[in-house]
Structure 1
Amino acid sequence: MGKYVLSIDCGTQSLRGIIFDKHGNLLVKVKKEFTPYYSVEPGWAEQDPDIYWQRLCETTQAIKEQEPDIFGAIDSIVVTTQRDSCVLLDKQGQVVRPAILWMDQRKIKKPREMNLYHKLTIAAVGMLPTANKFSMNCNAHWIQEYEPENWKKTYKYLQISGYLNYKLTGEFKDSIASQIGHIPFNYKKFRWDHKNGQKSQLFHIEKEKLCDLVAPGKLIGTITEGTAKETGLRAGIKVIAGGSDKGCETLGVGCFNNHTASISLGSNASIQTTTKKYYEALRFICPFPAVIMGAYNPEIQIYRGYWMISWFKKEFAQKEVRQAKELNISPEELLNKRLNDVSPGCDGLVFQPFWGPGAKRPEGKGAIIGFDDYHTRIHIYRAIIEGIGFGLFEGLGYIEKKSGKTIDRIMISGGGSQSDAICQITADLFNRPVYRVQTYETSGLGAAIIGYVAQGEYKSYKDAVKNMVRIKDAFQPDEKNVAIYKNIYEDIYRKIYKKLKPLYKAMHG
């Protein structure tokens, strides 16, 4: 038996412990769910960080019980988590307050001041409103303003990945590839920004409150004796710097260059690619650090993307929820079987998926137009799927324009990718072949790839991907459906936001 990598994948709704072998075969998977967040005020989204740690311990103990031989051969651990969610710890490593998550909508009343140079240069390119929005949405700024006593207690301001790495090793360290959020991180140079840098001027967080950064694939620390007792893991196991969930997904589907795009159909839907060249797909929106050191992941995201499916289930699909429980399958599986009952274009129903203020469209709202008396709830369901697809397709255009490269194939992952119907809709809408690899747990697979390269099992990520990632399914565009989607996108979808923007602004007051 070889040496294994344990991937810890902490998402919005569950934590998974996954072990792949060096050939990319999934050997063990344990999933522990939790309530995504709670709200003590409208628009807030918080969680007790200890929930993540408790689920991690439950996961490792379950793996130990189910597969003791494989568990005993774990050589290293790689953590990948949801992004832009902050955890505050005091000097003793105790949680100061609940974590504020990526979907939280609280903000301060006015942006923080920045020096005149950056204010003028940002204003000169028309991006001052966007910069002000970033500043107002910074969780650290809200805590500083409304909970100054908690900010004073804060010794380290961490991402969820940094928190879990600390709990495992006792080290206040995190991967460079996990630093995605409203933080003073210099995305171009892969380090914390200097005091007078643009990001430090946008996000006022003292440098001493930030963790030490480690390059992905390098050692963060080892499992402590105390952690060993809680998790069942062997003391001394190496904890290797990983990356964000989206970054690991992109590696896990083998997306290495500007000719391939990685679509993630998760709670936050996104399309990104990998490049050695720094470019902003949308002006002022930095490409994120890739898990391949020195590379970037330019990304366009649909805020709360497939979370909208959770909303739909709750509000419209209780029948499927009950049936699924009886059949011991997911409600999505039942709903997805009915997608093909509705023709492409949903008989005139079009959905705009702006369910949260985006960086470039701060006043944006969700919209669905074209209702008639023959539309059903399944029409609405398919319209949501197609609307997210249109939003991602728009993002592909931005990426191609800025990179100067044509994307000729799509790799797809995330919960939505389990559906053949959704994969086919994506192929038709993008007019490109869509490929699905051997597992939809691509974030965990990407983390495992990092671990096996760090072990020296493979000399490079390219070599590891060649041996660990396999295309399982291919979906080719249907010419008839391609034409339908092209007409809807050009004639309707692209025009919705411009037409509704004045109404959105009026709604914001």
Structure 2
Amino acid sequence: MAGYLLGIDNGSQSTKATVFDEHGAVHARARVPLRPNDTPRPGVVEHPDDDLWDSIGAATRAALDAFDGEPGELLGVGLCTIRFCRALLRADGTLAQPVLSWMDERVSRPYEHTNPDVRYVTTSSGYITARMTGRFRDTAANYQGVWPIDTDTWAWAADPDVPRDMLFELVYPGERLGTVTAEAAAHTGLPEGLPVFATANDKAVEALGAGLADDRTLLLSLGTYIAGMTTGSHNVHDAKAFWTNFACRPREYLYESHGIRRGMWTVSWLRDLLGDEEWLNAGAATVPPGCDGLVAVLDWLAPVDAPFRRGAFLGFDGRQGPFHLYRAVLEAIALTLYANGAAMADELGTGFDRVLVSGGGAGSDVLMRIVADVFDRPARRAQGGAELGAAICAGVGLGLFAGFDEAVTAMVTPGTEFRPDQATHERYRRLAEVYRELPGYTDPLFTWLSSATE
């Protein structure tokens, strides 16, 4: 292939842009943090100004500045953005008001037309597509939640509760959204006319880039929202232990366990309080499994169905220090996902032979060893994520590969594998019972605290 692919991952905390070749090798990358969300009143969480588009422009320009080649050597762009956001646009595709974050209560309710400037209602990916290409098209695979979409057909519902002319045209992952406009080229540094390709929701694109390809593998996605995922071909309705999401392969599905809100955000928050990440990881490796009795409750952002919950550390007795606090959070992540993954597997009637771990936390050896020991399964570090998944979609759309399977084989490289220790797993097996029973004790406490402090 005489050219390169650009993968854009616009996530909850930053935008990342990476230039890949046809073998998945990285030739340049850049990351630009997003600004803190605006929260003017309870329940309202918005992206300030035009932060998503601004960060994409800055990250893309920075990646191209770091690229040894020329922008003209790029063959295509794969575009991935945060899921569950809502963007309200004017007729020209610009924002009529700030983008609603996935944490905004309004995105859990059907759209209400209260702003006369709004002409289109779309996702974050639809908005960025409009800015990048001037086309009002979007991937069908980023419409979950209250959107009026038929999840069996990947098409708009026959009688949508949003006027049909306010909704974008839908395409599959890997299909062309349009080409970079002159205005977008000036903003991003990308060549005018460069093809832009659809992906899916950010979790599904991450799963593709991580190499998740079978129902015997559980992928732990260590992002701001942490969840366990596996893949399948059936649209499972009304599941109890998981929910069915669109996959990044057309007409396939991603099964996603219950998760941890503000998961890796909690790790970052604690690291900012305690010290350097490398120092904390090295110290946490010296702490015995179980952290000398210290456990963490990870509801730093309470779930919608239990708004009274809070985060907590329990079990201090004077032996613990900063490394115990840090390791307790890592263990809580692994043990929570172990229980959630097992519940999903039981409902699906399957089991997991291996664990794949993606996201920034996968770079921690101590966390990878904890995962392997908790699950009693080999845990492999994913080398790629949403940026690579986005580039794969572009490669498939350009016809560089016969399909997604061939593209994944060519571009995804397996990472380091960590093997479980049986003695340590037995300690975690007993600790898993503690975590399973813990909400029965903490929920009444947090309910009382919530009523006492209002």
Q: TM-score range by the shorter chain?
A: over 0.9
Identity %: 31
Cα distance in structure 2, aligned partners of 1:93 and 1:47: 17
Q: What amino acid is the match of 2:435?
A: Y
Distance between the aligned counterparts of 1:22 and 1:70, measured in 2?
16
In the alignment, is residue 80 of structure 1 matched against residue 80 of structure 2?
A: yes
1:442 is aligned to: 385
Indicate how the Cα distance of structure 1 residues 383 and 65 shifts in structure 2: closer, same or farther if over 3 A, else same: closer
Which of the residues 255, 261, 265 maps onto 2:212? 255
Mean alpha-carbon deviation: is it higher for 1-10 or for 183-192? 183-192
How many residues of Structure 1 are paired with residues of Structure 2 in the alignment? 450
| Cα deviations by residue, 1:340-363 (Å, 9 ceiling, x for unpaired) | 121111111122223334356455
- Say if 1:83 and 1:181, in contact at 8 Å, map to a contact too: no
* Superposed counterparts of 1:21-100, under 5 Å: 21-42=21-42, 44-48=44-48, 50-67=50-67, 69-100=69-100
Tell which deviates more after alignment, 154-163 or 184-193: 184-193
2:253 pairs with 1:307: no
2:351 to 387, 400, 406: 406
Contact in 1 for aligned 2:19/2:67 (Cα 8 Å) = no
SS in 1 for 2:79: strand
Q: What is the aligned counterpart of 1:158 among 122, 142, 166?
A: 122
Classify 1:476/1:360 alpha carbon distance in 2 versus 1 (closer, same or farther; 3 Å). farther
Q: In the alignment, is the contact (CA less than 8 A) between 2:19 and 2:63 conserved in 1?
A: no
Q: Where does residue 425 of structure 2 map in the other structure? A: 482
Any unmatched runs of 5+ in structure 1? 108-136, 321-330
1:272 alignment counterpart: 229
* Matching of residue 138 in structure 1 with residue 108 in structure 2: yes
Task: Give the secondary structure class of the aligned counterpart of 2:22.
Answer: coil
Q: Partners in 2 of 1:24 and 1:475 — Cα distance?
A: 23
**Distance change >3 Å, CA 362–CA 279, structure 1 → 2:** farther
Contact 1:85 1:181 in 2 (8 A): no
Contact 1:281 1:298 (C-alpha < 8 Å) held by counterparts? no
Conserved 8 A contact 2:12-2:224: yes
CA contact (8 A) 2:229 2:254 kept: yes
Give 2:403's aligned amino acid: S
After superposition, residues 284-363 of structure 1 pair within 5 angstroms as 286-300=243-257, 301-314=259-272, 316-317=273-274, 320=275, 331-358=276-303, 361=306, 363=308
Instruction: Say if 1:46 and 1:139 are closer, same or farther in 2 by CA, change over 3 A.
Output: farther
- Measured in 2, the distance between the counterparts of 1:16 and 1:101 equals 18
Q: Secondary structure at the match of 1:242?
A: strand
Amino acid at match of 1:416: G
How far is 1:247 from its partner? 0.7
Q: Are the aligned partners of 2:8 and 2:18 in contact in 1 as well (CA < 8 Å)? A: yes
State how far apart, in whole Å, the 2-side matches of 1:101 and 1:497 are: 28
Q: Which runs of 5+ in 2 are unaligned?
A: none
Partner of 1:498: 440
Name the structure 2 match of 1:328. none
* C-alpha distance in 1 between matches for 2:198 and 2:218: 24
SS state at 1:427 partner: helix
**Is 1:178 matched with 2:135?**
no
Note the aligned Cα RMSD (angstroms).
2.2
With over 3 angstroms needed to count, the CA separation of the structure-2 counterparts of 1:188 and 1:356, relative to structure 1, is farther
Deviation at 1:207, TM superposition (A): 3.6
Q: Distance in 2 between matches of 1:425 and 1:85?
A: 33
Q: Secondary structure at the match of 1:102?
A: coil
Give how far 1:496 is off: 0.9
Greater displacement, 473-482 / 238-247: 238-247
Q: Partner of 1:57: helix, strand, or coil?
A: helix
Task: Report how far residue 6 of structure 1 moved.
Answer: 0.9
Paired residue for 1:387, among 321, 332, 343? 332
CA shift, 1:36, in A, is: 3.6
Q: CA–CA distance in 2 between the matches of 1:393 and 1:97?
A: 40
Structure 1 distance, partners of 2:250, 2:347, is: 21
Range 38-47 or range 164-173, more displaced: 38-47
Alignment of 1:423-442 (within 5 A): 423-437=368-382, 439=383, 441-442=384-385
Rounded Cα–Cα distance in structure 1 between residues aligned with 2:185 and 2:145: 31
Spell out, residue by residue over 1:228-253, the C-alpha distance to the aligned partner (whole angstroms, 9 max, x if none): 23222222211111112211111112
Structure 2: how far apart are the matches of 1:281 and 1:25? Answer: 40
Is contact 2:218–2:228 with CA below 8 Å preserved after alignment?
A: yes
TM-score relative to the length of structure 1: 0.83
1:270 match: secondary structure: strand
> CA 1:493/1:186 → structure 2, altered by over 3 Å: closer, same or farther?
same
Deviations 1:32-52 (A, max 9, x none): 223242322245422135222
- Distance, in Å, in 2 between the alignment partners of 1:287 and 1:217 is 20
Partner letter of residue 489 of structure 1? A
**For residues 486 and 68 of structure 1, what CA distance do their matches in structure 2 show?**
50
Counterpart among 103, 127, 133 of residue 169 in structure 1: 133
Shift of 1:185: 2.8
Cα deviations by residue, 1:189-236 (Å, 9 ceiling, x for unpaired): 3223333xxxx6xxx544433222111111111112222232222222
- Partner SS for 1:401: helix
Q: How do 1:114-129 residues align onto structure 2 when only pairs under 5 Å count?
A: none
CA contact (8 A) 2:233 2:251 kept: yes
Listed one character per residue, the Cα deviations across residues 283-322 of structure 1 (whole Å, up to 9, x for unaligned) are 39641100001111111221111111232234x31xx2xx
The TM-score with structure 2 as length reference comes to 0.93
Counterpart Cα distance in 1 of 2:241 and 2:361: 29
Secondary structure of 1:100's counterpart equals: coil
Correspondence for 2:414: 471
1:148-178 Cα offsets, whole Å, 9 max, x none, are 642x321112221111111111112111122
Say if 1:49 and 1:168 are closer, same or farther in 2 by CA, change over 3 A. farther
Q: Distance in 1 between matches of 2:435 and 2:65?
A: 52
Contact 1:167 1:227 in 2 (8 A): yes
- Whether the 8 Å CA contact 1:287–1:296 is kept in 2: the answer is yes
Deviation (angstroms), 1:23: 0.6
CA contact (8 A) 1:281 1:399 kept: no
| Amino acid paired to 1:310 | S
